[in-house]
Amino acid sequence: MCRSIKTLRPPALPEEATEEDMRAAALQYVRKVSGFRAPAAHNREVFDRAVDEITAATMKLLGGLEIRGSAHGHAAPAHAPAHAVDAAPARGASGG
């Protein structure tokens, strides 16, 4: 069976979560919400896009969290590609 979603922020993990950790959590989320462990060919594109978008949102979330008593937070992990963080859809005052 597939991995469960786990907490990816310190101190739950001894080191920063990797992009692989974030992608695995995103995949589990999409599987759970969609009800598909592996989508049919006609759903593959939307399934994969959702995993990519949730991975990017997770990177942005973890990069922006301020963990009190820790040096973590305030910026995306150094190993996270900038385009992955920027790929998350912006939401805010514009109503988007």
The pLDDT profile of the chain, 96 residues, written as one tens digit per residue, is: 345 788 898 888 878 899 999 999 999 999 999 999 999 999 999 999 999 999 999 999 999 988 887 655 444 444 444 444 444 444 444 444
Can you say how many angstroms the Cα of residue 48 is from the centroid of all Cα atoms in its chain?
Answer: 13
Radius of gyration of the chain (CA): 14
The whole-number pLDDT of residue 9 equals 86
Half-sphere exposure (CA, 13 Å, Cβ side) for 87? 16
pTM: 0.67
